[in-house]
Amino acid sequence: MVETLLLLALNLLLGAGCVFAVLRQTPQDVLTLDGLFLSISCMVLALVFFLNGYWTLRSQELSPLLQRLLPKRKESEEPEAHPVVRKEVPLVLDHGAHSAMGNRLVFTVWFWLVLITLVEVFLAYIKLDVITMLILLLGFSVVKAALIIAYFMHLRFEKRSLVWTLMPAMVVTICLLAVFFPDSFRLLELRP
Amino acid sequence: MADAHVENRGLQVWGGGTLPYSVSHIKLGMWLFIVSDALTFSALLFGYSYVRIATPDWPTPFHFWPTVVFATLMTAVLLSSSLTMVLAVNAAQRGDRQWTIRWILATAIFGAAFIVLHGWEWMGLMNQGMTLTGNPWGTPLFGATFFGITGMHMFHVFTGVVYLLAIAGGVARKRFHSEHVEVCGLYWHFVDLVWMFVFPLVYLLSVDMGA
């Protein structure tokens, strides 16, 4: 109950903040491209927060409170408010195979992650040309990301179909963003 | 009877009776969110790289002390928080409620330490005159991208700390089970993972080499 009310207050606050950000703009700013972008983004965010607040208000938990606050329309059609029953759940559900990683493996992965980080910091202080440096740093970062995904995020031990659904789509989409780089080099050449 | 058995099995496999990824809906949902959030961050980092390539006077002002030392320490803090998160998940899967809560709280404390260190570092940079709209070293885009990317990441860390505390409370009140802890861990590791790209691209490629 308290958490839900806090959540509601937070939603209203954030929504009001977004509306405030729009209202703070001077009228001529609103019509520029940046101003329009900011206004639309803020209005959408405000809508999201207010809708969230509205749904929170209508949720099962708050509806008794709301009914007490609001004047009753018709006595007859009022459904009995169902009290929310919180069931206690056991910590371990017995479905699904648990393959908890051994502590030794976890610490080994952590050790390598820290080691690679230190190597990266060391690399930053060696004079290399930018491209080599970028490739080295990004290469190490990809290795670290792969370690985190495979072991900490447990993907190595999930069903392969999950891996094949998530990873290629993500990697391909991220790589597609590189299509913008020729344009940035062109921009550099165009500068006076 | 044998036919009925086969038919039944067929219904289970093709009629939606089995889980195609053998994970629950909360875990699959979190994975889908993580993929979309990864695209958000990669768009930010690609945007940063784009303006950096296109700008000739991009400054590289970061000194070993305090910025790089702080950032390295923050990386270590985040990595250690991932470690405690894995231990929390392991404890939850063992059914050890007390240690689950302890490890989750340890993770949240590491996360809070990250936010404090990062805020401290931000204050130092702002005292040197670096803001969203300008800095004493070169193009204003430097401050904008720096605060934009690290701010977005810090927001994720903050959300993660809130999430962790909520999960710890839920585990203590016996509302959540080990899978909730595991899914929360997925989010937390993802935040860690993003920092593994922010750290070299934003910090290490901007160190002052003394010309």
pLDDT tens, position by position, A29-86: 766 767 777 888 888 889 989 988 888 877 777 777 777 777 665 555 556 666 667 7
- Give the pLDDT score at B2: 44
User: Residue B45: is its pLDDT beyond 50?
Assistant: yes
Q: In this predicted model, which residue has the larger pLDDT, B208 or B8?
A: B208
Average pLDDT over residues B155-173: 94
As a whole number, mean pLDDT of residues B113-120 equals 95
Which chain A residue's Cα is nearest to B208?
A125
pLDDT of residue B65: 81
Residue A94's pLDDT band (cuts 50, 70, 90): low
User: How many angstroms separate the CA of residue B1 from the nearest CA in chain A?
Assistant: 28
Nearest to B54 among A3, A110, A184 (CB): A184
Look at residue B6 in the predicted model and tell me its pLDDT. Answer: 45
Residue-wise DSSP of chain A: -HHHHHHHHHHHHHHHHHHHHHHTS-HHHHTSHHHHHHHHHHHHHHHHHHHHHHHHHHSTTTHHHHHHHSPPS-STTPPPPPPPPPPP--SS-SSS---PPPHHHHHHHHHHHHHHHHHHHHHHTS---HHHHHHHHHHHHHHHHHHIIIIIS-GGGS-HHHHHHHHHHHHHHHHHGGGGHHHHHHHHHH--
Cβ within 8 Å, pair B177-A93: yes
Whether residues A133 and B205 touch (CB distance < 8 A) is answered with: yes
Average confidence (pLDDT) over B179-204: 94
Q: How far is B138 from chain A (nearest CA, A)?
A: 16
Q: What is the pLDDT of residues B20-44, one digit of tens each?
A: 787 888 999 999 999 999 999 999 9
Identify the pLDDT of residue A2.
Answer: 79
pLDDT, one tens digit per residue, over B56-86 is 888 888 888 888 999 999 999 999 999 999 9
Q: Which residues of B touch A93 (CB under 8 A)?
A: 177-179
Between chains, do B83 and A110 touch, taking CB under 8 Å as contact?
Answer: yes
